Amino acid sequence: MDAVGGAGGAVVVDKAGGQAPPKTLVDWALKILDTADPDEKARLGDLAATEWLRGAIPLPYDPAQPARAPPDRPARSDAVRLLPPSQAPKLGKGGSAQSRLAMLHSLAHIESWAVDLSWDIVARFGAQLRMPRGFFDDFARVAQDEGRHFAVLSARLRELGSHYGALPAHDGLWDSAMRTSHCLLARLAVEHCVHEARGLDVLPTTISRFRSGGDEETAKLLEDIIYPEEITHCAAGVRWFRYLCLRSLPSDPIAPPVPQPKSQCSELLEGRTGDDNKTSQAVHDGLADKPTEDINSHDEAVQQVGDGLARCSLGDADEMAIIERFHSIVREHFRGPLKAPFNAEARKAAGFGPAWYEPLAVKEVETQAIEQSE
């Protein structure tokens, strides 16, 4: 399958000579999700992100057409044998060449699924919730990064005499995506905050294990390329979780409240009264009215929110309301407490301070007992 340029952007040409011209970024996302080969998936993702970010793909989605739902599970190659997590072989701690090879293969596997995860959030929620253009920019970049991460890890496997698919891999990486497929707030909280931040916690140890084992090249690859970019991925999750919380306020002129299922993703600041609303109104004083029908005008939405926040600070009640909503969603959709120790420095760089995650490191029943004793 090859790509050729044209006045309307890239056109994908399959090996049989037929053309399937994706017209929007969501169309591209669906095509990538339907691509089974991991190398081709990453290549198409890089192409789509490049074309989108340079303006060759004119629209994020077609507002005149009903959005096609993405697959429950993206297409995956049979070349990688998937096992239930309980049956997946242990990776070890990098003390042997075999253990380091297993660790490297596992990292490549995670990054390949991350490509699908990033395009799924574009295809599943972007058009449905009329997200601003910056949302598509961010997750196209994230998807492009994840594809590059897979490509360099896969290449490193080949340099070491192996390849992606040489070892079995666990099949649990898509479980959280399926559990949060109904709710963008939940998807952002669990996949793009909790799981991405967990990656930041463990990567320094992983780097140290490769370095201690004498594999400086892999250590540098993780340290110089993957680690800093994963910080920006966690930051994207936090940024868009905050955006949706602000967007759900009744004073928001940009877009109507996000239509999430009431039982699991009810609006964040329901029942707010008095002085709390004054602070919230101040956040939005800097926002200009924009017609929600014009999807090309949405590219300014995030900057407008940022401008509003630059002129005033969120009050403590507002900030805590957002964080408490995060806690509620994570406790509902993530099994068990978060695992310490935390990489506080990297999490802070991603805009993810201790108030967001430290309370989630304690079981909810324990938290309730502490509150009752105070």
Residue-wise pLDDT tens digits, 232-253: 999 999 999 999 998 765 433 3
2 belongs to a structural domain: no
The residue with greater pLDDT, 256 or 53, is 53
Can the peptide bond before residue 341 be classed as cis, meaning omega within 30 degrees of 0? yes
Answer whether residue 39 is part of any domain: no
Q: Three-state SS across 329-355?
A: HHHHHCCCCCCCCCCHHHHHHCCCCHH
pLDDT above 50 (res 88): yes
Does pLDDT of 364 surpass 80? no
Q: Which residues pair with 19 in a beta bridge?
A: 13
- Which pairing describes strands 2-4 and 11-13: parallel, antiparallel, or unpaired? antiparallel
Residue 30 lies in a domain: no
pLDDT band with cut points at 50, 70 and 90 for residue 258? very low
Structural domain boundaries, residue 248 = 78-264+276-374
Q: Within the chain, where are the H helices?
A: 25-33, 38-53, 97-125, 133-159, 175-179, 184-189, 196-212, 216-221, 227-247, 262-265, 275-284, 301-311, 316-333, 344-349, 354-357, 364-373
Chain center to CA of 362: 24
Residues 309-317 have a mean pLDDT of: 46
The answer to whether residue 303 sits within a structural domain is yes
For residue 132, pLDDT over 80 is answered with yes
Assigned domain for 63 exists: no
Give me the half-sphere count of Cα atoms (radius 13 Å) on the Cβ side of residue 321: 22
| Structural domains in the chain (count) | 1
The amino acid occupying position 179 is R
Residue 288 to residue 284: CA distance in whole angstroms: 9
Residue written as tokens 């805590």? Answer: 320
Q: What is the mean pLDDT of residues 5-26?
A: 58
Mean predicted confidence (pLDDT) in 12-30? 73
Rounded to an integer, what distance in angstroms lies between the CA atom of residue 4 and that of residue 310? Answer: 43
Contact 91, 110 (CB under 8 A): no
Which pLDDT score, from 0 to 100, does residue 16 have?
43
9 located within any domain: no
How far apart (Å, rounded) are the C-alpha atoms in residues 163 and 246? 45
In a domain, 60, yes or no: no
